[in-house]
Amino acid sequence: MYEHLETADNPENLRRVAIDPVSRVEGHGKVTLLLDEHDRVKQARLHIVEFRGFERFIQGRPYWELPVIVQRLCGICPVSHQLAAGKAIDQLVGIDPDKLPPSADKLRRLLHFGQVLQSHALHFFHLASPDLLFGFESQIGKRNVIGVLSDYPDIGLKGVKLRKYGQEVIRVICGKRIHGTGAIAGGMNKALTLEERDYLLEDIDQIIAWSEEAVGVIKKVHCSHLPYYDEFATIRSNYLGLVRPDGALELYHGGLRVRKGEGETVLDHVDYCRYNEVIHEEVRSWSYMKFPYLLALGKQDGWYRVGPLARVNNCDYIDTPLAEAARVEFKAHGGGSMVHSTLAFHWARMIEVLHCAESIKHLLHDPEILGRDLVARGEKRFEGIGVIEAPRGTLFHHYRIDENDIVTKANLIVSTTSNNTAMNESVRQVAATYLSGRELTEPLLNNLEVAIRAYDPCLSCATHAVGKMPLQVELIDAEGHIADRMVKHGDGSLERADDA
């Protein structure tokens, strides 16, 4: 659709603008634009500086360390990595996902629902809502969580408390907020006590009510700005994700389903242990991050989207009543077919928050959640593959071990990698539609960031030392000289640097 903007014909004659790093996404990414003499965009790319060294970090470790070690890859969704690794090492001790003791399976699901709930709440209320509530090109000093808490205190506070509740689910199951040790090979290492169950039940009805309100907020925002919200950064894509055997929305364990933009099902209920037969990854010279594609559709057309929009588009129904009603309304908005609006990621994300809240309540009332039979063992295997639907989309962990139980091979495909081509397409759409031919300003450039943020990319850079990561926007002329340079200060204001 906008592939012609991936690589310009004569880049040497064009000016370059960089947004580095993109703000309010997890980690470090940058956007570069090449402009001609009339400020028309000739090339637009999203670069991700991350993921190098993940596999190296894991190789050489004993497999039983993996659920704990992989949490350190990412400070944003450590539980997702814990559970994907947990599912993979289940297989290393001979346990397939459907053979896990029921109490262990339910505890893992409860943990996962808590993780998805807190991650989605953080993204929506903290990162996305400033743009959505104040406008993409509104005053930058307002576009932040404090602005939301000031002007929309009710919404802001509920966001903080939803996030906190999800973190409490994680803390209770894993023993602490981070570095917890919930999943182990073949099950879980700690049962939920009656007191812990009752503690989590205390607030769950409130959490469900707030989640339902959040769906209402994003639906109202989206529908109040039609057709803009339906068109902004919007691309037609394929969608990939897990579904349950009966087609229901599934976040923890299921088969792979792929649907094309028109809704046609390409793959269904594929065992994710065969993911290598379904997905390949392409390397491009200008990006550290790979570009996965579906073999069945080929390199050109096989790129796809994952995450909330893909999951809600792909599933046949949701097994919790309030979220299902919200899904039906969401699909009706798309005329019953696939919803391609990139900003609809936010809407789908809140439907999933509601599903998580309802599912947490359901699980807490299930007597098996208190069970103490938590570990199963089988015959050792040398290869394990774990796949879950992480908050940002399908997450693949694949390990091989040797006779001494040491990891000899690790392969991870994280959700943000799967969305790489799609994010680039959205960036190019926004650059071509809203930026081309206009003088670039911070509010205008924020449109690019809004498009990227809709995907909630996690660039997995859980280091944050004070003083790192300044933001600079540089304009470079055809000779490679810096023609202009702007610096973004801590209060969000922009200042033209004197040395440009």
Partner 1 sequence: MPKPVLVFGYGNPSRGDDALGPLLVEYVQDHCDTDGIDVLIDFQLQIEHALDLEHRELVLFADASVACEAPFELNELEPALEIGYTTHALHPASVMAVYASINKQRPPPCFLLAVKGEAFELGESLSASAERHLRQAESFIEALLQNPRPAAWRSKKFQSRPLFDKIRT
**Site residues for partner 1 per CB under 8 A:** 21, 23-28, 53-54, 56-57, 69, 72-73, 75-76, 78, 122, 125-127, 144-146, 149-150, 153, 156-157, 159-161, 163-164, 167, 176-179, 459, 461-471, 488, 490-492
* Rounded Cα gap, residues 250 and 269, in angstroms: 12
Q: Which is nearer to partner 1, 21 or 97 (CB)?
A: 21
Q: Which is nearer to partner 1, 76 or 251 (CB)?
A: 76
Query: DSSP 3-state assignment of 104?
Result: helix
Q: Are strands 393-401 and 255-259 parallel, antiparallel or unpaired?
A: unpaired
Partnered with residue 458 across adjacent β-strands are: 26
Q: How far is the CB of 289 from partner 1 (least distance, A)?
A: 16
Q: How far apart are the first and last CA of the chain?
A: 36
Q: How far is the CB of 75 from partner 1 (least distance, A)?
A: 3
* Rounded Cα gap, residues 123 and 128, in angstroms: 6
> How many Å separate Cα 496 from the centre of its chain?
34
Q: Which is nearer to partner 1, 157 or 221 (CB)?
A: 157
Q: Which is nearer to partner 1, 56 or 481 (CB)?
A: 56
Q: How far is the CB of 43 from partner 1 (least distance, A)?
A: 24
Q: Which is nearer to partner 1, 126 or 340 (CB)?
A: 126
Q: Which is nearer to partner 1, 23 or 238 (CB)?
A: 23
Q: Which is nearer to partner 1, 76 or 279 (CB)?
A: 76
Q: How far is the CB of 79 from partner 1 (least distance, A)?
A: 12
Q: How far is the CB of 101 from partner 1 (least distance, A)?
A: 30
* Rounded Cα gap, residues 156 and 166, in angstroms: 16
- Residues contacting 154, CB < 8 A, separation 6+: none
- Residues contacting 498, CB < 8 A, separation 6+: none
Task: Give which of 113, 122, 104, 105 is closest to 169, Cα–Cα.
Answer: 113
Q: How far is the CB of 183 from partner 1 (least distance, A)?
A: 18
Cα separations (Å) of 102 from 83, 106, 109, 386, 428? 16, 6, 11, 18, 47
Q: How far is the CB of 194 from partner 1 (least distance, A)?
A: 23
